[in-house]
Amino acid sequence: AATPSGVRPGVHYTPQKNWMNDPNGLVFHGGRYHLYYQYNPLGTDHANMSWGHATSTDLLRWEEHPVAIRFDEKEQIFSGSVVFDELNTSGLGTDAAPPLVAIYTSARADGIQAQSLAVSLDGGYAWSRYEANPVLDRQSRDFRDPKVFRYETADEAYWVLVAVEAAERRVLLYRSDNLREWEYLSDYGPLGAVGGVWECPDLFPLEVDDEAGALRWVLLISLSPGGLAGGSATQYVVGEFDGVRFRPDVEPPALMPDAGAAELAAVDWVDLGPDCYAGVTFSGQPADRRTFIAWMSNWAYAGSLPSHGWRGVMTVARRLALRRIDGRARLCAAPVLPSPSGPLRAVGDGGTVRRPLSGATIVDLEVATQGVTRVRLGADERRVDVLVDADAGRLLVDRTLGAPAPASETDPPVANLLGGNVPFAVDRRVVIVVDSGSVEVFADGGSVVVTARADLPVESGIEIAGPADTRVGLTDI
Ligand code: FRU
């Protein structure tokens, strides 16, 4: 059957052409969301890493711009972040026109990975490298992915950088007054899932919902391979950051690198699916608007998925929150989407709703308290089934017949039965975003998320079957 994997997604960012992986330098500035990303300006494979660039005002429709920072014979531009240096602490702008500063990993031709700066004085479009790069060099071959944020207390303020010693499964923290000179603070790990290299860390505060003043810090650590569903995935840890050191509230289990699915289930995952990797959050936004975007792929098969002249896609943007569920602060993610087109309607006596699937659609469900609700996306022979049992507290996304094809035989295995326990502590809503090439499922206020690439036929449908009081709303976007 014809498959739409070559049809460009409606609300997921893809570059016009060539290879893309991690989001980089996410920053809200000048009224626009800037998305930079790992990009090969010359082809559809992971090579010649540079920072591509796109902007958006609503996080749904993106406009692509010329390459922001380009590789050269000395270095590739690996992942990193961007901050608005409003006080011109770096001296790289002027007090009247403060700079945007990118902190990226120079993946050098000699094999060393060190941290470097680039500067933009025009609001993020034109970038030039700082002449005294690198600014932080440990002579390591696996020191990368710096995420920088401003740490402020009542009596001091400075920059904090988190990066990884990837092969040692350690997150390293540094501080600086000017973004150019960095002083080591502390490190974290190895702890939790360690079955692969650690990459793309992020560290940020969030208030626990409904608990005024209850500020916790969230540490995101991407891991590849060794994720819950196989291959790449992102774990998170909630704890305290005192300006020097991060301490988890509940210490994650110390797992072996070959830990199986049962042990991995004891770790907190940003997403239970196989296609949410290297996700980080925007800088330049108020504390109660933490927005996250990830690369919607998996290193296990990213290089063997078909290329359509472009290869690589981002997840929808997600607003993050912390909610106390069963005594523990849990990370919840809500997709940033247009409002639903109308109120939810009961599926009624027949218990089934059918309609064609065209482009990007939001399926908004309120699942029955008893019985199983099943959403079938696609057609009989190529489909993804989402099964929700609110009573038993289970979510299963079955993409056995809809996995992105064809993985090469040498690719490491990635699961097609995805999901797990859902507390249904927030509500019984399940939001499914289906677009060309992917399905994203947000359950229970986003305390459980499953993101999966999928290959569904062009002539496709949505069929929702469940108890009569299952309520549903469908919105085309
Ligand atoms: C994560 C990653 C980063 C690195 C980049 C290279 O997917 O491996 O650690 O900076 O991709 O493209």
* 398-457: pLDDT as tens digits: 999 999 876 677 777 899 999 999 999 999 999 999 999 999 999 999 999 999 999 988
- Please indicate whether residue 142 is annotated as part of the active site: no
- Separation between Cα atoms, residue 49 and residue 40, nearest integer Å: 5
**Cα 341 to ligand 1 centre (Å):** 38
Q: What is the CATH number of domain 345-476?
A: 2.60.120.560
Q: For ligand 1, atom 6, which residue shows the shortest CA distance?
A: 78
* Residue 329, ligand 1, Cβ within 6 A: no
Distance CA 354, CA 472 (A): 11
C-alpha 247/C-alpha 218 separation (Å) is 10
User: ipTM value of the model?
Assistant: 0.99
Question: Which positions of the chain have pLDDT values less than 50?
Answer: 1-3
pTM higher than 0.90 for the full model?
A: yes
pLDDT at 352: 87
Find out whether the beta carbon of 165 lies less than 6 Å from any atom of ligand 1. Answer: no
In Å, how far are 47, 51, 104, 105 from 76, measured between CA atoms?
8, 9, 10, 8
Who's near 142: CB < 8 A, 6+ residues apart? 113, 164, 165, 166, 167, 168, 197
Q: Where in the chain is the domain with CATH 2.60.120.560?
A: 345-476
Q: Is the CB of 143 under 6 A from ligand 1?
A: no
- Spacing, Cα 19 to ligand 1 middle (Å): 13
pLDDT at 6: 66
CATH class, domain 15-335, is mainly beta
* Confidence (pLDDT) at 2: 43
Atom of ligand 1 nearest to the CA of 200: 9
CA distance 283 to 262: 35
pLDDT value at residue 288: 86
Ligand 1 proximity of 276 Cβ (cutoff 6 Å): no
Q: Are 7 and 432 in contact (CB under 8 A)?
A: no
Q: Which two tokens stand for residue 111?
A: 């094999």
Q: Using the mean position of ligand 1's atoms as its centre, give its distance from the Cα of residue 229 in Å.
A: 19
Query: How does DSSP classify residue 406?
Result: P
Q: Phi and psi for 116 in degrees, rounded to 5? A: -135, 165
Q: What is the pLDDT of residue 350?
A: 82
Q: Where in the chain is the domain with CATH 2.115.10.20?
A: 15-335
Residue of 22, 145, 275, 444 marked active site: 22
pLDDT tens column, 301-323: 999 998 899 999 999 999 999 99
Q: Which of 19, 22, 275 to mutate to test the pocket of ligand 1 (most atoms within 8 A of CB)?
A: 22
Q: What 3-state class would DSSP assign to 474?
A: strand
Q: Give me the chain's average pLDDT, please.
A: 94
Q: How many CB atoms sit inside 10 A of residue 140's CB?
A: 17
